[in-house]
């Protein structure tokens, strides 16, 4: 870890001793902080049995599981649709014809600049759509246009000789794309694509705001129940590890794919993207 930084030399024995001291002191401070939070939790009576018994009821468990199922359903629909939309928009942006290029550029730039929540609310309130389709449509529009940019960058990232060689062999543009450029681009961009799906998974929780009965909504229902002594903190302690765990699993998968693709002989002619959502200013490139 210290190998690749310009900030300091590899520490010697004295410095290492000092660092150990700092390390111990800061660990003590952090532990004290954690202890304080724990004390606060106990002090405000968050661990009473009244607040935790509801989780032992089958009905509550079913409610939570149904919520989780709805979250995953929205995620599945949104990711499939956004991948499809991304492919269509990327095709448009890479087109040689002016009109489809302009239209898809306009769409991509607009949907990327708009908050997802505004789109979801617009579809939900103005078009009077059911919560699930509204959520899925909003997520698909936003993530689809981001994915379109990812696909496009991927195609541009393939070494120029690849396309030129394919044209020299007499392939047509569609053939060059489908046989040569797109397969390599998708491989290279797979980590970025999966990371964008993590964003979609996180944003399914926006469904909570339009009363879609997803995981957080189920949590809210339990938390606002007076019979169980308003178990708000217990609900957060149950819901957030599940959400964070799901997203982390997907993020780790993206990192794993990135490492795998980087060593794959099939990505020799293209740089594999890091496992992060793309951060590109609107109107750039």
Taking the complex as a whole, the smallest distance from the CB of residue 205 to another protein amounts, in Å, to 4
Taking the complex as a whole, the smallest distance from the CB of residue 167 to another protein amounts, in Å, to 27
Taking the complex as a whole, the smallest distance from the CB of residue 28 to another protein amounts, in Å, to 9
Closer residue to another protein in complex, CB, 37/159:
37
Taking the complex as a whole, the smallest distance from the CB of residue 274 to another protein amounts, in Å, to 8
Closer residue to another protein in complex, CB, 7/174:
7
Closer residue to another protein in complex, CB, 1/56:
1
Q: Which residues bind another protein (CB under 8 A)?
A: 1-2, 4-9, 11, 15, 19, 22-24, 26-27, 30, 40, 44, 46, 113-118, 121-122, 125-126, 198, 201-206, 208-209, 216, 219-220, 223, 232-233, 236, 239-240, 243-244, 247-248, 251, 276, 279-284
Closer residue to another protein in complex, CB, 24/50:
24
Decide: 2 and 8 in contact? Cβ < 8 Å. yes
Distance CA 188, CA 154 (A): 7
Closer residue to another protein in complex, CB, 16/266:
16
Residue located via tokens 């047509």: 172
Taking the complex as a whole, the smallest distance from the CB of residue 33 to another protein amounts, in Å, to 10
Closer residue to another protein in complex, CB, 184/195:
195
> HEC profile for the chain?
CHHHCCCCCCCCHHHHHHHHHHHHHHHHHHHHHHHHHHHHHHHCCCCCHHHHHHHHCHHHHHHHHHHHHHHHHHHHHHHHHHHHHHHHHHHHHCCCCHHHHHHHHHHHHHHHHCCHHHHHHHHHHHCCCCHHHHHHHHHHHHHHHHHHHHHHHHHHHCCHHHHHHHHHCCCCHHHHHHHHHHHHHHHHHHHHHHHHHHHHHHHHHHHHHHCCCCHHHHHHHHHCCHHHCCCHHHHHHHHHHHHHHHHHHHHHHHHHHHHHHHCCHHHCCCCCCCCCCCCCCCCCC
89 burial level (CB within 10 Å; 0-12, 13-18, 19+) = buried
Taking the complex as a whole, the smallest distance from the CB of residue 180 to another protein amounts, in Å, to 27
Taking the complex as a whole, the smallest distance from the CB of residue 126 to another protein amounts, in Å, to 4
Closer residue to another protein in complex, CB, 6/174:
6
Closer residue to another protein in complex, CB, 142/151:
142
Taking the complex as a whole, the smallest distance from the CB of residue 266 to another protein amounts, in Å, to 26
Q: Is 128 left (phi over 0), alpha (psi -120 to 50) or beta?
A: left
């Amino acid at each position: 870890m210290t190998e690749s930084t310009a900030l300091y030399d590899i520490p010697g024995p004295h410095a290492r001793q000092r660092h150990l001291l700092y390390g111990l002191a800061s660990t003590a401070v952090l532990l004290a902080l954690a202890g304080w939070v724990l004390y606060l939790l106990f002090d405000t009576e968050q661990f009473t049995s009244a607040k935790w018994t509801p989780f032992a009821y089958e009905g509550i468990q079913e409610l939570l599981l149904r919520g989780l199922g709805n979250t995953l359903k929205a995620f599945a629909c949104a990711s499939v649709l956004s991948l499809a939309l991304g492919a269509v928009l990327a095709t448009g942006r890479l087109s040689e014809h002016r009109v489809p290029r302009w239209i898809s550029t306009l769409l991509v730039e607009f949907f990327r600049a708009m908050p997802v929540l505004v789109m979801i609310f617009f579809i939900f309130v103005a078009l009077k759509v059911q919560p699930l389709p509204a959520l899925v449509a909003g997520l698909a529009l936003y993530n689809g246009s981001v994915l379109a940019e990812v696909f496009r960058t991927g195609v541009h990232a393939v070494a120029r000789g690849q396309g030129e060689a394919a044209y020299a062999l007499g392939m047509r543009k569609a053939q060059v794309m489908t046989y040569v450029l797109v397969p390599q681009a998708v491989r290279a961009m797979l980590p970025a694509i999966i990371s964008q799906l993590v964003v979609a998974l996180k944003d399914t929780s926006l469904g909570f705001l339009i009363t879609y009965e997803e995981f957080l909504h189920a949590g809210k229902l339990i938390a606002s129940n007076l019979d169980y002594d308003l178990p708000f903190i217990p609900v957060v302690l149950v819901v957030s590890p599940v959400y964070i765990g799901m997203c982390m699993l997907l993020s780790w998968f993206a990192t794993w794919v990135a490492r795998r693709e980087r060593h794959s002989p099939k990505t020799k002619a293209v740089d594999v993207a890091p496992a992060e959502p793309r951060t590109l200013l609107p109107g750039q490139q």
